[in-house]
Amino acid sequence: MTDWFQVVPEILDSNSEALSFFSEGGFRFFLPAYLIADLEGRLQAADPLFHLTNGFFDSVVRVPTKVRVYEKIIGKSALLNPRRYGAMTFHDYARYRLSIFTREEAEAIVAYMEFRRNSDMDNIDTSDVTAALDVFWRERAATAPPSSALRKHLDDEAAYLRDLQGQ
Q: Are strands 69-75 and 58-64 parallel, antiparallel or unpaired?
A: antiparallel
29 found inside a domain: no
- Rounded to the nearest 5 degrees, what angle is found at the Cα of 46, between the Cα atoms of 40 and 48? 75
111 found inside a domain: yes
Average of pLDDT values for 8-33? 90
Average of pLDDT values for 97-117? 97
Are 83 and 162 spatial neighbours (Cβ–Cβ below 8 Å)?
no
pLDDT given at position 75: 92
User: Whole domain around residue 102: which residue ranges?
Assistant: 47-166
Average of pLDDT values for 111-116? 96
pLDDT given at position 88: 97
Average of pLDDT values for 75-95? 96
Are 100 and 150 spatial neighbours (Cβ–Cβ below 8 Å)?
no
154 found inside a domain: yes
pLDDT given at position 1: 58
Nearest-CA neighbor of 28 among 93, 136, 106, 91?
106
33 found inside a domain: no
Strand ranges for 57-114 from DSSP E: 58-64, 69-75
17 found inside a domain: no
Average of pLDDT values for 95-114? 97
162 found inside a domain: yes
64 found inside a domain: yes
Residue 166: is its pLDDT beyond 90? no
63 found inside a domain: yes
Under the banding of pLDDT at 50, 70 and 90, the label for residue 90 is: very high
The model's pTM is: 0.88
Under the banding of pLDDT at 50, 70 and 90, the label for residue 134 is: very high
pLDDT given at position 11: 85
pLDDT given at position 121: 63
Q: Domain total for the chain?
A: 1
Query: For 58-72, what is each residue's pLDDT tens digit?
Result: 999 999 999 999 999
pLDDT given at position 125: 78
